[in-house]
A and B are shown apart, each in its own frame.
Chain A
Amino acid sequence: GAGVSQSPRYKVTKRGQDVALRCDPISGHVSLYWYRQALGQGPEFLTYFNYEAQQDKSGLPNDRFSAERPEGSISTLTIQRTEQRDSAMYRCASSSMGRGEQYFGPGTRLTVT
């Protein structure tokens, strides 16, 4: 079956613009996680959902970052008024349940110029 997909794969945007990153999890997976990964580092947790409910958003860096999963499937991570420091790889993962094995998508490479 299909794995986790993310779009776009690459995004270049100018400072101050808003961006929306999309994640399509494995069908039927309950839990969906967002991470940010800087070069040379491991992924860092941003937020996660069970079904449509956002369970924890403690990893979101500031209030310019938000996420939603309105129908319990596809999720969108939105960054408003982007800054250069937001440049990173943004990864999404899904699992069949909260503590289950996570499967990652290919990531979105965001560059803010």
Chain B
Amino acid sequence: GIQVEQSPPDLILQEGANSTLRCNFSDSVNNLQWFHQNPWGQLINLFYIPSGTKQNGRLSATTVATERYSLLYISSSQTTDSGVYFCAVMASGGSYIPTFGRGTSLIVHP
């Protein structure tokens, strides 16, 4: 099956710093989502982005499907950005089974 690797596994930032999270995948995809799992365990949708670039406030994401990676940018980080960020993909073809990466754990200090 498709492999999904996220980096870095852990990230510690001071409030106000910027960061880039990466998601690499081993095969072509036609569905890619970024989620934020907050400290209370809720999975929150950030972006549905199988290709292209999207922005939502301080967050933006870019997926380069031909090169099999996606990037999530967090600017001017806040303590509320803390949590785990997951990338999830569905491989192109007949499979409708999502595969999640192991996540990037982010801690933002005040």
Query: Shortest beta-carbon distance, B60 to chain A, in Å?
Result: 17
The docked-state distance in angstroms from the alpha carbon of A91 to that of B100 is 13
Selected interface stretch from A15-23, A54-62, A68-76: A54-62
**Smallest Cβ-Cβ distance to B100: which chain A residue:** A42
Interface hits, B10-67 → A, CB 8 Å: 30-31, 33, 35, 41-43, 45, 48
Docked-complex contact A45 and B97, CB < 8 angstroms: yes
Further contacts, 9 of them, CB under 8 A, given A33-B98, A43-B43? A42-B86, A43-B100, A45-B97, A45-B99, A59-B97, A99-B31, A99-B96, A102-B88, A107-B41
- Chain B positions near chain A (C-beta within 8 angstroms): 30-31, 33, 35, 41-43, 45, 48, 86, 88, 90, 96-103
Docked-complex contact A42 and B97, CB < 8 angstroms: no
The docked-state distance in angstroms from the alpha carbon of A89 to that of B41 is 9
List B contacts of A91 (CB < 8 A): 43
List B contacts of A63 (CB < 8 A): none
- Decide if the interface of chain B is mainly helix, strand, loop or mixed: strand
Docked-complex contact B86 and A103, CB < 8 angstroms: no
Query: Shortest beta-carbon distance, A105 to chain B, in Å?
Result: 9
Docked-complex contact A99 and B43, CB < 8 angstroms: no
**Smallest Cβ-Cβ distance to A107: which chain B residue:** B41
Q: Determine which of A33, A45, A56, A106 lies in contact with B41 in the assembled complex, contact meaning CB atoms within 8 Å.
A: A106
Known A-B contacts A99-B31, A101-B45, A106-B42; the reply to A42 vs B96 at CB < 8 A is: no
The docked-state distance in angstroms from the alpha carbon of A45 to that of B88 is 11
